[in-house]
Structure formats: C-alpha cells, structure tokens
Structure 1
Amino acid sequence: MFEQRKNKPNVLVIGYGWGSSAFVQGLDTNKYNVKVISTRPQRLNQPRMINDLAPSYSPPPYRIPIIQDECLALEDTKNQVVCKTQSHTYDYLVIATGSEVNDFGIPGIKENCLMLKTEEDLEKLNSALKTPKPITIAGAGPTGLELAFRLNSPTQPVTVLEASPTILPGFSPEMQSAITNLLEKKQIKVLLNQKIVGIDQTCWKTATGPIPINGPAIWTCGIRPTQFTRQLNLQPDSKLQVRPNVYALGDCIRGHGPPTAQNAKQQGQYLATLFNKDFKYDDYKFVEKGRVIDVTDRLIVDINGRITEFPGILRALFYKFIE
C-alpha cells in the first residue's frame, strides 16, 4: 500500500492502462507520493477481450489510490487538473489517457457501426452476434483481422474491407504474406483498396462503389487521443516530457514507437526509471520484441521478419513475455 507523506513530491497519473500501470509499479514510492485518476478502477485488457469476446480486466497487483473521475482540463500554470467532481494538484503529472475510436468524420460510422474499444462496445457486439449473419469488418489491421479470425464460421462468414493495397499496413512483408495465406485457408474474404466514404443501414459506401451489408458492420479503422489530450496538443520530447513537470505516454502521443501495449509498457517503465534517477537518464528508445497476430488457434509472431507460430494454449504465457 502506498503511504502518502507531505515531504515527498506528489505524482498525479491520469489514466490506468498498460503504460501508466507499468509506471506506477516501477516508481520508487520512497521518493514520491502517487495517485491515479481513471474512469475505471481496473485496466481493460483488449487483446484478451477480442479472444474471449468478454470483458477482461487486469487488476492492480497491489493497493493503489485510484480516483474514479474524468479529467476535463489541465491548468498547468497552477499545477492543477480539473475533473468532473473536483480539481487535483500535482508536483509532477503523467498523462496516459489512451485512445478512443476514430471515425475520421465519415458519415454514418457512429450511427451504423459496431466498435470494439470498451466493454460497452463489447456488449453491443455480443447482442448483434446472437443470430448468425454475414459480418463485414472495416480495417485489416491487427484488431480487425484478429476479430475476423475469431468470428468467421460457415454460418457467419466474414468479409474484411481495407483502404490500403495490403493488409496489416506497417507490418513486414513476411507477416503480411503469412496472414494472407491463413485468411485464404480459412476462407475469409478481404477486399483491398476500399476507401470508405460513408455507411448507412444497407451498405458501405466506398470510393469504388457500394458494398451491401447483410449483418453486423464493425469499424476497426483507427484510434485517436481522447478529447482531454487532443485539446492539449501533446508533443513529447526525447524524454517524453510535454511541458515543465508534465509527461505523457501511450496512445495519447505519437512519434515514439507504435501505438501498442508493448510500447506503452516500455514507456511506463522508462518514465519510472527517469523519475527514480532524478531525471538524469538516457532518452527513450522503443525496443521491438515482436509483433503478434492472434488467429484464435495459434499466435503468429513476427520478430524482425522471421515468422514463428505458437499454440493458442500458450497465449497467456506468451503475452506476458512480449508485453
């Protein structure tokens, strides 16, 4: 349990995800007081959520003061964060509010698509899946493809739409090829070069023409920082500092590695070390441990273009290592 003392600097952490939990766990509480503001008391584990189609949480490994609230504004001249219920002061602030679904302003996305970002999204998805129907998924990134492998069946065929000319943009050609072969083997249809410009209850509207909708339509095409962090325009330096005594990590920033749990965790561990060493430490550098696509019965792993497979039963052990 963390003991709050008046003679220690107060560290306020906003958000409780992969990055902030790693930061709090690594922070020397003999040197700092720490408290966390989060809209939820536990960390939602999205990779497991996709595999199980059920909410999966990772509770903190020890008692930590989590204040359930929503942050609205930062008053950095006062070292203060304004939340819905009250304001909180700090000596050091770590912003780790994660991300939300990005619809890119495309008409009809919010009204006609299912998402997979929160437990509320998952409830809506499970309700839509009660009666087997053809599924269309927009986005051939990791989330879209893992969901396609999870949901595809003879009575519930899945079609994936992707705006790019390849699946898994940003992944190695070897990984793209390996996953393409598995998609073909499992008869999951993928339509490339399909830029979506709108959607209604009957069809996806793409730049090349309409694509009919006969069942659930799922949107996995992108993320963006939350409203709180978008208004701050966070631009971290090489030590993840965005303003005097203010740091940021995870999906709410860009330019310091991919938007993955692996990177967020490394950033959290780095910041903890930076704080513990009195801010005298090397610049942050992301170390790629491998990229993973969970295809339900196995894990396909890409380590610098070398593709390896692991049985699905080793999922929990493998993720513990790579994250």
Structure 2
Amino acid sequence: MKKIVIVGGGAGGLQLATRLGKRLGKKNLAEITLIDQNRVHLWKPLLHEVVAGSLDTGAEALSYRAHSSENGYYYRMGSMIGLDKQNKNLTLAPLFDHHNKQVLAQRTVEYDYLVIAVGARSNDFGLAGVREHCTTLDSANEAEDFHLTFLNQFLKYSEESNEEIEHGEYNVPPQLPPVHIAIVGAGATGVELAAELYNAVDRLEQFGVKQIHHTSLQVTLIEAFERILPALPIALASKAQKALEQQGVRILTQTMVKDIQSQKLITADGEIKADLIVWAAGVKAPQFLSQLGLPTNRIHQLEIDSCLNVKGEDAIFAIGDCACLLNGDDKTARPIPPTAQAASQMAALCTYNLQAKLNGQPLKPFAYNDHGTLISLSRFQTLGNLLDELFKKHWMVEGKFAQWAYASLYRQHQMTLHGGWKLFWILLGSFIEKRVKPKLKLY
C-alpha cells in the first residue's frame, strides 16, 4: 500500500488529509499520514479574534487525533527537520512536553509521496528586535498568549486609575495615558486586529471594568507602503482607513521601521513608544525548507511547477503559503498570494493529482481563481471585493452582505473538514453559545 505523508495541518494540509482520507484511506487504497507540531487546528485568519477575545479557541479548535479517526487518515505529532530523498523518508525532531522533558526521540517517517504544507510565518526582514520585543500572530498559542497580556495590561490600567481616584482629591477624576499598542503591517491581519482591539475595550467597559473606556486604548498602525490594505482597491482601502480612524486608530503610512527596542519602534522619522508591539508585516516560509536540498526562493518558499510538484521532484509536492508558484504569463507573472483560499484550491488539485499518480494518469495544472478579498473590522464595518465568475468583474461589497460573505469563508472550510450534517450541529452549537456566553473571552 502506498504511503502518502502530509507535513503541516493548516488550511491546505488538513483539507488535503481529509479528502485523501475519505477517498483513499477509508478504502485501504493508500495509507494517509498527517504530521503537525500542534495537537489542534485553528483556522489562521481567525487569530486576530483570538487575541481580542472575540473567539474562544476551546470552542473552535479541531483535535487532529479525533478528526483523523473519523476521516481515514493517521495523525502524528512532530516537526520536520530533515529529508532523505533517495531513501524516501523524513526526519522528525525530538518532542518535548510543557516541562521541557523529552517525550519522543528523533524519528524517521517513510513515504512514497510527500506533501509539504507547513505554511509561513511573519517576515522579520532581518530585524533582530522583532522576536525579542514583538508579538507575532503565527499560531493559536501566540494569539492566546497575547490575549492574556492584553487583559493583564487593562487590569493594571483599571486598578491604577481607580487608586488615583480613591487616594486623590480631584474635582475632575484624572485619566492615565491610554494603553498604547503599535501594530507593524497594515495588511488584512493588522487592520482586522486594530478594529478587534477597540471592540474588546468596549466590551470590557460593558462588563463593568472600572475606568475603562474607548479612549483607554490607542492603536497605531504602521505601514511601509503608501496606503493600508494594498491587496484591496484604493476605494475600499480608503473606506477601511476612515472606519479605523473613526474608532481612534492612528495610521502611519510610508513609515519604515529601522529598529525595535523594548516598548519602542525606531523609524526614519523618529521614535514610536508603545506598551505592546505586534509584528504583522510580510510572510516567509520556515527556514529549514532551504536546508532540505530542494529549490527555494529568498523567503524560503519551495519552488513548485504547475502541477504542484516541487521542481525536479516527482514524489514531492508543496501547497499553501510555503510554496511559490507564479500565476500569469511570463511578462505579468506574480506569485500566488499566501491566502487561505489559495491553499484550499491547491489542496483540492493536489488531491486529484495524488490520485492520478496512484492510477498512472496524467496530472492537471493548477489554475488560481481569485474570488476576491474581504476584510472584517469587527462589529464596526465589513467590506471587500468579490469576483463575479460570469462577468469576470470585481464587485465592491460592504455592510450585512459583506459580513455574511466573510463568515461564509470559514464555514466553507468547516464544510470541507466535517461535511454538511456535522456542520449543521456546529452552527447550532455556535448559535446557542452566543446567547449564553459573554461576547468576550475574559480568561
């Protein structure tokens, strides 16, 4: 029986494992294995909601082990660190627990076909201070950690403000300087996070946290490009900027960060002090990919051909953010964007091509279909552009329809993973939870 190994359980990797498990694994036509360093999966576009507390990972996270048992693939926990192409096996790093005690030694996993779908991380562009002084949102653990930091910062602010009022003699109660959060990168993640943070502060006020108001937060959004949301049309980006500024977001464009120190950003125009700094600028694939003897580009993405094979490799595929494939003709070719919709489309084609490999049939080339981009500014605004397949035209959308379309993206992902009947119960459970639980996670 052929062994298909998928490394990485993000949007693309998990959808691929699910499809192959149902079509091949359950029928004993192939042995499907999914390897990921985490025990649970959370859709990456939701991480900004985890930070703000608008989303509870306990309710939304998917257990790889439980999901694999229901969908015909096998889950192994681990991180890939090496590859032996000649003998067709990969190496997994030793596994340590939360007490830093070794659970598993270094292991090897054999394969007949390998799919690398390890995603990408924020690009620090060589700035040493990013990892030391900034928070990145590349995993659910990082988002949860920043969520607690955010809550603690406002707990401190509330107590200090209250003490000044109780121990002072004021005709007008004093107001401490607001908590300042700087976000570097005004793409979708940075923009959506800025809005969610203001929504979270408003919820804290509604829950009766003393001395917390909308103005207790100051968010500065920093972008090196000439405008925010470069992937969106100018008109939509302008609307998003206006909505953010109405909430109090300070937006600095054409601002390049030169250095990062503790609670301080150094730019060409001076210093920006902040209590917390979030780095959401650019992406790059994990560096170990450039050490496997496979072709990679300058940001460590694996170079793949039109059929999703790593260039020069017949048995190795790559999909998602860790893969680089040019889209368009030679003169206008641009890399396919590192988005969830691209990863999902790659997973669908990779499923077909792996089945074709097993059956000795020709492979199909990948054709990227851009369905548009949607941005959610929490409860304040949702907008974006959608591609009309019939007329090949982008339509600008906002308001309730855009909000519904944005929510449907995640539901489509869940539909692929769970099927229609189970999704119905998930939606019913979500409907009930929203009516019995607080609208903000406070722990």
Does the alignment reach a TM-score above 0.5?
Answer: yes
State how far apart, in whole Å, the 1-side matches of 2:386 and 2:83 are.
Answer: 40
| Aligned match for 2:110, one of 89, 102, 106 | 89
Is 1:58 aligned to residue 70 of structure 2?
Answer: no
Does 2:306 align with 1:238?
A: yes
Q: 1:264 pairs with 343, 357, 374, which one?
A: 343
Q: Structure 1: give runs of 5+ residues left out of the alignment.
A: 1-7
Which residue in 1 is equivalent to 2:364?
Answer: 282
Contact 2:374 2:406 in 1 (8 A): no
Distance 2:5 2:409 in 1: 32
2:153 to 131, 135, 142: 131
1:248 pairs with one of 318, 337, 361: 318
SS in 2 for 1:165: coil
Question: What is the one-letter code of the residue matched to 2:373?
Answer: R
Supply the distance in 2 between the matched residues of 1:202 and 1:261 (Cα, whole angstroms).
32
Cα shift at 1:135: 1.1
Q: 2:220 maps to what in 1? A: 159
How far is 1:180 from its partner? 1.9
Match of 1:77 among 74, 78, 86: 86
2:45 corresponds to: 47
Q: What is the CA-CA distance between 1:221 and the residue it aligns to?
A: 0.7
Question: Aligned match of 2:281 in 213, 221, 228?
Answer: 221
Mapped contact 1:262–1:322 kept (Cα < 8 A): no
In 1: Cα distance, 2:233 partner to 2:405 partner: 24
Percent identity (aligned): 25
Equivalent AA in structure 1 for residue 270 of structure 2: G
Task: Report whether the alignment pairs 1:112 with 2:112.
Answer: no
Q: Compute the displacement of 1:202 (Å).
A: 4.3
For the 8 Å contact 1:290–1:322, the answer to whether it is kept is: no
Contact 1:45/1:58 (CA < 8 Å) preserved in 2? no
> In 2, Cα distance between the equivalents of 1:315 and 1:171?
15
Deviates more, 1:163-172 or 1:124-133: 124-133
Q: Secondary structure at the match of 2:303?
A: coil
User: d(CA) in 1 for partners of 2:224 and 2:41?
Assistant: 31
Flag as ranges the 4+ runs of structure 1 deviating above 6 A. Answer: none
Larger radius of gyration: 2
CA distance in 2, matches of 1:302, 1:39: 35
Which of the pair is proportionally richer in helix? 2
Partner of 2:236: 175
Distance 2:405 2:348 in 1: 25
Counterpart position of 1:10:
3
- Please say which of residues 261-270 and 103-112 is displaced more in the overlay: 103-112
Deviation of 1:121 (Å): 1.5
Matched letter for residue 238 of structure 2: S
Q: What is the aligned partner in structure 1 of residue 251 from structure 2?
A: 190
CA distance in 2, matches of 1:266, 1:118: 22
RMSD in angstroms over aligned alpha carbons? 2.1
**2:187 counterpart residue number:** 141
Determine the structure 2 residue equivalent to 1:4. none
| 1:222 Cα deviation from its structure 2 partner | 2.0
1:131 aligned counterpart, secondary structure = helix
Tell me which moved more, 57-66 or 236-245: 57-66
How far, CA to CA, are the matches of 1:172 and 1:97 in structure 2?
A: 30
Whether contact under 8 Å (1:135, 1:217) holds in the other structure is yes
For structure 2, which runs of at least 5 residues remain unmatched after alignment? 94-105, 155-178, 199-213, 297-301, 327-335, 388-393, 415-443
Q: Offset of 1:314 from its aligned partner? A: 7.3
Counterpart-to-counterpart distance in 2, 1:52 and 1:313: 20
* CA distance, structure 2, for counterparts of residue 66 and residue 159 of structure 1: 41
1:135–1:159 CA contact under 8 A, matched in 2:
yes
- 1:18-29 alignment runs, 5 A limit: 18-27=11-20, 28-29=23-24
Q: 1:15 to 1:318 in 2, by over 3 A?
A: closer
Task: Say which structure, 1 or 2, has more relative contact order (CA 8 Å, 6+ apart).
Answer: 1
Q: Look up the equivalent residue of 2:397 and give its one-letter code.
A: T
Moved more, 115-124 or 159-168: 115-124
State whether residues 98 and 250 of structure 1, in contact with CA within 8 Å, keep that contact through their aligned partners in structure 2.
yes
Distance 2:244 2:364 in 1: 42
AA aligned to 2:383 is I
CA deviation map 1:107-148 (0-9, x unaligned): 311111112112332233123212231211111011001100
SS of 2:272's equivalent in the other structure is: strand
Q: 1:286 to 1:144 in 2, by over 3 A?
A: same
